[in-house]
Structure 1
Amino acid sequence: MTRRALLLALTLLQLSLWQHQMRAEENKLQRNSLGMSMIHVSQGEFEMGMLDEHRLKLEHKASAYQREIHDYVEKPAFPVRLSHDYWIGQTEVTVSQFRTFVEATGYQTDAEKAGKAWVFQPNEKEPLDRFSLIEGANWKSPGFEQTDNHPATCISWHDAQAFCQWLSKQEGIAYRLPTEAEWEFACRAGTRTSYFCGEEPDSVYAVGNVADATLYALHPEDVLRQRTVRLEPGDGDGFAFTSPAKSFQANSWGIYDTHGNVWEWCQDKYSDRYYDDMLSEARKKGSRTQPEPIVDPQGPDNTPKHQHGDWRSLRGGSWYVAPLQCRSSVRAFAEAHDAFSYIGFRIVRQEE
């Protein structure tokens, strides 16, 4: 083979490999009618929940570890099998995308109907009063400036459901909120560490918008009571509140903002005893040492607490909390009507 023929063959091979890579990327990422990028997630197994309590405490000595919050609701970890592929939003639903839905339907959010939402009030003396119901607050006015590319906030679980139902009707494909299991599986992206970027809380500042030196410069007490390091002027990311989509590094599956920015609604009803129940069931199906994975957990059907409200799960942390509260396994909850300026949502699309 001549040198020229060899160069031509190598060029054609490189072109073929590039085209194959492009096709593979297209199979993993699709855009819907709203221009939302959806990432393909293949079925698989993982261990859900807090995986290494000892390591977690060692790495978070400068953080306020609250046993009643973290240990109780993230443990015990249990094995999960997701039996289906699905597509998950590459980013949280943005202001622009939510506006498109509102303008197409005339929809009024729960906050707009109530005439108020829970927004940040830094001048309140007590930490528990930092978020108060403020007249006129809603997704268009969450108490801080937002652009079209910021995550929509002051969104209730009902509002997120209405968005999914509208988009499903528009496209003839089922959109919904992720289950907690789907959310954590996508966030972890095959990892077993506290964050998809590792165990160290300092590593989170590159991948997520969390309470850091930027918020500390404005409201020091709100950050200092959560974490006491990395608060020098040069340590901040420039975002005191929410940040635009894709402002930070994605995980290895190409999904953004699963650590911080806004807490994200999940489909599941919330229960602080659910993990105990799931591990018990897994051991019954398998054994104590080799529990059988729980297939497609959906959350509890009901709990005694749901007699007093429709409590739904939240994942991912937000701009207001330090890295410890933004880990892959962290859980929180709110009532389905609640609209806070630190809550938004991400959607999934069922595999066709």
Structure 2
Amino acid sequence: MKFPKYSVKRLSRTEYGHVRRRIFIASSLSVLIFWSAAATLSQEHTDTVEASDSDSDEEILLEEDASIEQLNPLSIFRENLEHGGTSPKMVLIPSGKFEMGCLTEPDCSDDEIPSREVQVSRFAVSQFEITFDHYNVFAKASLRSIPDDSNWGRGSRPAIHVSWHDAVAYTKWLSTETGATYRLPTEAEWEYAARAGTDTRYSWGDDVQYNKANCDGCNTGKAVEQTTEVGKFEPNPWKLYDIHGNVWEWTLDCWNRNFGAAPTDGTAWTSGDCARRVVRGGSWIVSPFFVRSATRHFYSAENRVSLVGFRIVREIDPKSTDESI
């Protein structure tokens, strides 16, 4: 069956500003309207999180940090926590170079240019967005309040109503529990992992395809209009789920209006408007244009909204032996 193509056009500065204001209005409501039950997704996308890993995606439990040296690129692993349990599933991402930013001129917004080549060191990134199940362990251990779920459900849905500071606190706790260094991804790491070797608008190609992501206009039938459990849609080529849509994801970077002076070594841009932090990936409320690999947006680091969650990175010694894909 052939799906109709969306016409993805460049937005004018005025139109882009209108869309940004619409997103902020939606996210700043103190009391959210609870949406009606989401339309049932097709059976092929209703596997549970654990079942979403294919048979070839064997998961490894690391007993010690040195064992990472024995892993191949795109291996999936967990680490033991000091006080019981394990870390989220992590995917080992190889080092490499890529062209970061908007690569297709008609689609570019001012904050996505100029594109430039970026070198990224090896790292690991969580296969799924951090869920309520993950976050609640940290919150209870740290005597923090449990975030609101907007009446949509908890469990394996992405943790929402989590500020940038909350997300950073989670990574520091996880670092203490594992003895490794966990943090939020840099903006360059996020886009490198999202593109997964592609140079198209989305990790699956240039055209919107139905049932590839959770966004407003990404699915057949009625819009979902809320978060979905992680792992409901196909992963990108590097085994990462929900990299497009579901929730915007916090990064380490401060907000800057374009890439003119951005680092080219994969590190975070820690100057600029640091009261606002970059988010990537789009969310359930935005149109397909805003879930492109190059799309950038920002929120106040203090904001706790239903549109934003996060994914995490584990640092790996960049001098370690590495292989390219």
TM-score by length of 2: 0.71
Using a 3 Å threshold, how does the CA distance of structure 1 residues 248 and 213 change in structure 2: closer, same or farther?
closer
Deviations 1:281-301 (A, max 9, x none): 8xxxxxxxxxxxx222321x3
For residue 334 of structure 1, what is the amino acid of its counterpart? Answer: Y
Query: Are 1:276 and 2:260 an aligned pair?
Result: yes
Partner of 2:105: 53
Corresponding position: 1:173 with 2:180: yes
Return the match for 2:271 from 283, 302, 305: 302
Deviation at 1:302, TM superposition (A): 2.4
Aligned to 2:169: 162
User: Which structure's relative contact order is higher, taking Cα pairs within 8 Å and 6+ residues apart?
Assistant: 1
Aligned with 1:247 (options 210, 221, 232): 232
Q: Counterpart of 1:36?
A: 88
With over 3 angstroms needed to count, the CA separation of the structure-2 counterparts of 1:246 and 1:237, relative to structure 1, is farther
| Count of residue pairs the alignment pairs up | 247
Cα distance in 1 for partners of 2:109, 2:74 equals 39
CA contact 1:213–1:236 (8 Å) conserved in 2: no
Q: Indicate conservation of the 8 Å contact 2:212/2:218, yes or no.
A: no
TM superposition shift of 1:213: 7.8
Determine which structure has the larger helix proportion and give its number: 1
Write out aligned runs for 1:185-334 (5 A): 185-201=192-208, 203=209, 205-212=210-217, 235-236=220-221, 239-273=224-258, 275-278=259-262, 294-299=264-269, 301-303=270-272, 305-306=273-274, 310-334=275-299
Q: Distance in 1 between matches of 2:290 and 2:151?
A: 22
User: SS in structure 1 opposite 2:267?
Assistant: coil
1:208-230 per-residue CA deviation (whole Å, 9 max, x = no partner) reads 1111387xxxxxxxxxxxxxxxx
Distance 1:184 1:348, change over 3 A: same
Unmatched segments (≥5 aa) in structure 1: 1-17, 57-69, 110-138, 215-234, 282-293
1:141-156 alignment, distance < 5 Å: 141=149, 143-156=150-163
**Percent of aligned positions that are identical:** 34
Report the Cα distance in structure 2 between the residues aligned to 1:96 and 1:194, rounded to whole angstroms: 32
* Contact residue 179 and residue 268 of structure 1 kept, 8 A: yes
- How far the C-alpha of 1:187 sits from its partner, in A, is 0.3
Structure 2 matches for 1:94-109, cutoff 5 A?
94-108=131-145
Deviation at 1:238, TM superposition (A): 6.5
Distance in 2 separating the partners of 1:346 and 1:249: 17
How far 1:183 moved relative to its partner? 0.2
- Runs (4 or more) in structure 1 with deviation over 4 Å come to 21-27
Q: Give the whole-Å Cα distance in 2 for the aligned partners of 1:90 and 1:79.
A: 25
Provide the rounded CA distance (Å) in 2 between the counterparts of 1:184 and 1:237: 29
Q: Which residue does 1:117 correspond to in 2?
A: none
Q: Is the 8 A contact 2:215 2:246 kept in 1?
A: yes
Measure, in 2, the Cα distance between the counterparts of 1:100 and 1:172.
17
1:226-272 C-alpha deviation (Å, 9 max, x unpaired)? xxxxxxxxx13773200101000001110000100000000111101
Matching residue of 1:63: none
- Give the whole-Å Cα distance in 1 for the aligned partners of 2:267 and 2:177: 28
Q: Could you say what secondary structure the match of 1:269 adopts?
A: strand
Kept in 2, the 8 Å contact 1:80–1:297? The answer is: no
Q: Which runs of 5+ in 2 are unaligned?
A: 1-54, 61-70, 81-85, 318-325
| Counterpart residue identity of residue 278, structure 2 | S
Equivalent position SS for 1:207: coil
- Asked whether the equivalents of residues 313 and 334 of structure 1 are also in contact (C-alpha less than 8 Å), the reply is yes
Partner secondary structure for residue 194 of structure 2: helix
**1:165 aligns to what SS in structure 2?**
helix
Q: Specify the SS of the correspondent of 1:88.
A: strand
